Amino acid sequence: MEILGIDIGGTGIKGAIVNVQTGELTTERHRIPTPRPATTNAVSETIGQMVEHFKWKGKIGCGFPTPLLHGKCLSNGNLHESWKGTQVNELFKNVTGNEFSVVNDADAAGLAEISFGAGKNIDGVVIMITLGTGIGSGVFFNGHLLQNTELGHVLNKKGDSFEDYTSDSARKRDGLNRKEWGKRLNKYFSHIEFLLSPDLFIIGGGASKKLDKYIDQIDIRTPIVAAMAENEAGIIGAAMAANFEIK
């Protein structure tokens, strides 16, 4: 069975058609820059362009970078304030005519890795951390998802969120090299390890491709691995969420 998966990020909106039985992309990935400002109207238009690119008429799964409750955006995250309170699945359906299942983007990436990737057959607590414009998290226990965790927003000792201090956008903003950024990540992962005692961390997002550049700066008990699907995990997991009707 094939479903169009779309992953909405702070800098790019990516999509591909996915075989949800195998977790494989059956088309080339298509990317459109996230509009600025990322208002409801602007992003909806971009979603329409993505659907038109694939000439897709069926169900669509969409990873969305905010907490959600049954498809409703609870906070705007790194998008525009106009998103707060928006029923995202209905908005996208009205624009495209397609049925949408909308899930938190890090939850989607985690679903892909738990089903087909680095987290497959791993018992206990597995935490997906996506490092990009913000920090997303997906928490799994014995393969079961605890939806809508926001571990990027835990506070550091200065009272600021770790997302503001440790995301990939923070690295770029502060001009950090990978070693310097790795030291910040060590503080973050140490804190999350203390709180949840996980069995495995999986790093997703664009930073997953360069794990070897900073992993030696992270000194914790818990193993850390890159998402096997790398930056495509969100697309795959979004399609899977639509198939399983996770909302």
Residue 116 is assigned to a structural domain of this protein: no
Q: Are residues 135 and 85 in the same domain?
A: no
Q: Are residues 18 and 38 in the same domain?
A: yes
Q: Are residues 77 and 33 in the same domain?
A: yes
Residue 228 has a pLDDT of 94
Residue 196 is assigned to a structural domain of this protein: yes
Q: Are residues 84 and 15 in the same domain?
A: yes
Q: Are residues 90 and 125 in the same domain?
A: no
Residue 87 has a pLDDT of 97
Q: Are residues 201 and 165 in the same domain?
A: yes
Q: Are residues 51 and 144 in the same domain?
A: no
Residue 145 is assigned to a structural domain of this protein: yes
Q: Are residues 102 and 30 in the same domain?
A: yes
Residue 113 is assigned to a structural domain of this protein: no
CATH number of the domain where residue 150 is located: 3.30.420.40
Residue 80 is assigned to a structural domain of this protein: yes
Q: Are residues 147 and 224 in the same domain?
A: yes
Residue 245 has a pLDDT of 63
Cβ distance 215 to 90 under 8 Å? no
pLDDT per residue as tens digits for the range 167-192: 999 999 999 999 999 999 999 999 99
Q: Are residues 95 and 60 in the same domain?
A: yes
Q: Are residues 199 and 240 in the same domain?
A: no
Total domains present in the chain: 2
Q: Quick one: how far is CA 78 from the chain centroid?
A: 13
Residue 29 is assigned to a structural domain of this protein: yes
Question: In the predicted model, what is the mean pLDDT of the chain?
Answer: 94
Write out residues in the chain with pLDDT < 50, as ranges.
247
Residue 15 is assigned to a structural domain of this protein: yes
Residue 112 is assigned to a structural domain of this protein: no
Q: Which domain holds residue 42?
A: 2-107+232-244
Q: Are residues 103 and 126 in the same domain?
A: no
Cβ distance 132 to 209 under 8 Å? no
